[in-house]
Structure 1
Amino acid sequence: MATIEILGVPHAYELTAPTSCPHTLVFIHGWLNSRGYWQPVISRLSLDFQCLSYDLRGFGESRSQPETDFNREQISVNLPPTPSSPVGSSFDPLYTPSAYAQDLAVLLQQLNITSAWLIGHSLGGTIALWAAAQMPDCIQGVICINAGGGIYLKESFEQFRSAGQRFLQIRPRWLSQIPLIDLLFTRASVARPLERYWARQRVIDFVVADPEAALGSLLDSTTEEEVNRLPQLVSQLKQPVYFLTGTNDKVMEPKYVRHLASFHRLFQYSGDNVIEIPDCGHLAMLEQPEAVASHISSIVEA
């Protein structure tokens, strides 16, 4: 693991060796996850592609706040205007998908990555879409995994936000020490039980996530404004955007993935930019890493 400072905040990341491919694959994890979930996929791709994975601010081994007094507004980042910010250089509130995309822009600048494909899981997919809008010259394309939406259903979202807040309130550190607690996480949100190793990692990431970042990213990414902005964002992207969805995903059902995908030009009339993975739930990179890696490789090399 390496550490790099992004806008004053230490971030953990891993970068594999360069290859003959001119593009770097950048992997963005989802809510209450960490960069390690990508390793089954990266291990299958790193011989052909340079791969970057990192922990989002406040998750995994990345800090949530600067170690010293720091003003984000003092940093000059060359970002074009996006649907949320008429002035591209202005910074968004800390935990919006756009703010996390701005973190990513700085990370790529600091690592001298000038050509990348973004692969984002769930919330990470939304962050990838924002980053593609903010960095059109650098980002060659986006692959969203178990990510979609763009339809704001008031009652459903209010229930989701309320349930998420309650979920975050039951996170004592000693929770990870309870015998067999990880067994609960082998089956949550997946079509087939995960290996105990990954269930254990899910418990750890659930417990160590910074409270402010966990709650802030949940609430800031599910507002009516944010959800309704997604289709507009996708429709404006010039880069190719593909969506991988699990046929048994109950968190982000395929119909909602197809809805968001339909706003991109590649959708055409039959969903040409949507790929369904059979017998797969919400954690495709752990449940079906071979299929995910194969689809990524085919898309990037096309």
Structure 2
Amino acid sequence: MTRNLNLSQYFSSNGWTIKYGVFGGEKRHEQTVVFVHGTPWSSAVFDPLASALMNGGGYRVVLYDLAGYGQSQDFSEKGAAKGNELFVGDTSVRTQASVLADLFKHLRLDQSDPLQRPALVAHDIAGAITLRAGLLHGCKYRSLLLLDTNTVLPWGDGFYKLARSEAQTFLQLPRNIFEAVVRAVIRSASHAPKDFSLVWEDILAEPWFDENASVADAKQRSFVRQIAQANDADIAEMLDQDLYKHVECPVKIIWGEQDQWIPREKLDSLAAMLGDSFREFVVVPDAGHLVMIDQPERVAIETLDWLMKNQSVV
């Protein structure tokens, strides 16, 4: 499988060169759907769902790679947050929310007309990113669809906690050991890791590897950085002020029933904190954390149904 949705455009934000692409929307209507991926993924994780929305619903789709991920790993220190002593560039949820707000401005998605506002589809930490961009940066959404999102503390499983606490050690892993770790992390996000497509594994792992030794070292540092910089304070700021209840758009939650990364009780807690904005909770059988890859048809149906329900939401 090769990507047919190439990120050929870019803009600058917080010192990062952010790669993005705008696709479809030429026929029927031009409702915009912005996809925001999580960690350690890239926008490639949404390719099948984005294609289904364009081909099956005529939607205009925006894909981009988070700062420090995928094709958005180029960083300039000029006027940007410097990260910390181990890393240049900041990839925290705080920064990613600022990047999303800049994307809205760059694409003029911050429309005053509610019917021109985009719908958002978010996976993994993108739940926290999109909520923060809406609540603290003023981004306005027509609707919000959260796929197996991480928005409630504490964060991370055993691996992520270890990588956060021992970042220097993970930077020193030999290249072949590092690659094995990344591939194991990717497979663990699927409901059936032994049957997980090697093609998909290669696509999702590709941003973190390179044959050139110096580039490979930089990509390994990028992978460790996005884990090490996951700052609980970026979520605690919203939780401590009980901000989730102020979300203005309707929200739907989808959760893979076999998700080993995020337990259901965290999403139940999120639903309760969302208050009146919460509308639906869908459990998808035979799906893990990568619910859109494990069950692409079911997720596409649920997504199209949600977008159509909110077509005229004001």
Instruction: Give me the whole-angstrom Cα distance separating, in 1, the residues matched to 2:145 and 2:294.
Output: 17
- Tell me, what secondary structure is at the counterpart of 2:142? strand
- Equivalent position of 1:106 in the other structure: 102
Q: CA separation in 1, counterparts of 2:250 and 2:277?
A: 10
Residue 26 of structure 1 aligns to a residue whose secondary structure is: strand
Q: Secondary structure at the match of 2:24?
A: coil
Is 1:252–2:262 an aligned residue pair? yes
Shift of 1:189: 2.2
- Correspondence for 1:221 among 223, 230, 247: 230
Secondary structure of the residue that 1:255 maps to in structure 2?
helix
Structure 2 CA distance for partners of 1:148 and 1:32, relative to 1, 3 Å: closer
**2:253 is equivalent to residue 243 of structure 1:** yes
Percent of aligned pairs sharing the same letter: 19
Contact 1:185 1:200 in 2 (8 A): no
Identify the match of residue 306 of structure 2 among 291, 299, 302. Answer: 299
The one of 38, 46, 52 aligned to 1:38? 46
**1: CA distance between counterparts of 2:251 and 2:173?**
36
Instruction: From the superposition, tell whether residues 109 and 20 of structure 1 become closer, same or farther in structure 2 (CA, over 3 Å).
Output: farther
* Deviation of 1:276 (Å): 0.9
Question: Does the CA contact (< 8 Å) of 2:152 and 2:270 recur in 1?
Answer: yes
Please state how far the C-alpha of 1:107 moved relative to its aligned partner.
1.6
> How far apart, in 2, do the equivalents of 1:121 and 1:136 lie?
20
Any conservation in 2 of the 1:186–1:194 contact (CA below 8 Å)?
no
After superposition, give the CA deviation of every residue in 1:4-24 in whole Å (9 maximum; x if it has no partner): 122253222221122444531
State the alpha-carbon separation in 1 of the partners of residues 17 and 198 from structure 2.
29
Structure 2 residue aligned with 1:52: 62
- Pairing partner for 1:203 from 196, 202, 205: 205
Gaps of 5+ in 2: 1-5, 82-88, 112-116, 210-215, 310-314
Deviates more, 1:32-41 or 1:213-222: 213-222
- The answer to whether the Cα contact below 8 Å between 1:26 and 1:52 also exists between their aligned partners in 2 is yes
TM-score calculated relative to the size of structure 1: 0.77
Q: 1:239 to 1:220 in 2, by over 3 A?
A: farther
> Which among 7, 19, 28 is matched to residue 12 of structure 1?
19
Q: Letter of the aligned partner of 2:269 in structure 1?
A: H
1:121 is the counterpart of 2:128: no
Match of 1:194 in 2: 196
Distance 1:242 1:170, change over 3 A: farther
Residues 115-194 of structure 1: pairs in structure 2 closer than 5 A: 115-134=117-136, 136=138, 138-152=140-154, 160-164=160-164, 165=166, 168-169=170-171, 172-173=174-175, 184=184, 187-192=187-192, 193-194=195-196
1:274 aligns with 2:281: yes
Tell me, in whole angstroms, the C-alpha distance in 1 between the residues paired with 2:301 and 2:67: 29
- For the 8 Å contact 2:53–2:304, the answer to whether it is kept is yes
Superposed CA deviations along residues 105-158 of structure 1, whole A, max 9, x for unmatched, are 2122222334211111101221111122245463222211111442438xx878
Evaluate the alpha carbon distance shift between residue 175 and residue 161 of structure 1 in structure 2; reply closer, same or farther with a 3 A threshold: closer
Q: Distance in 2 between matches of 1:203 and 1:172?
A: 16
Distance 1:255 1:239 in 2: 23
Matched pairs, number = 273
- In structure 2, relative to structure 1, the CA distance for the partners of 1:10 and 1:120 (3 Å cut) is same
In structure 2, distance between residues paired with 1:136 and 1:273: 24
Contact 1:101–1:131 (CA<8 Å) still a contact in 2?
yes
CA distance in 2, matches of 1:297, 1:185: 29
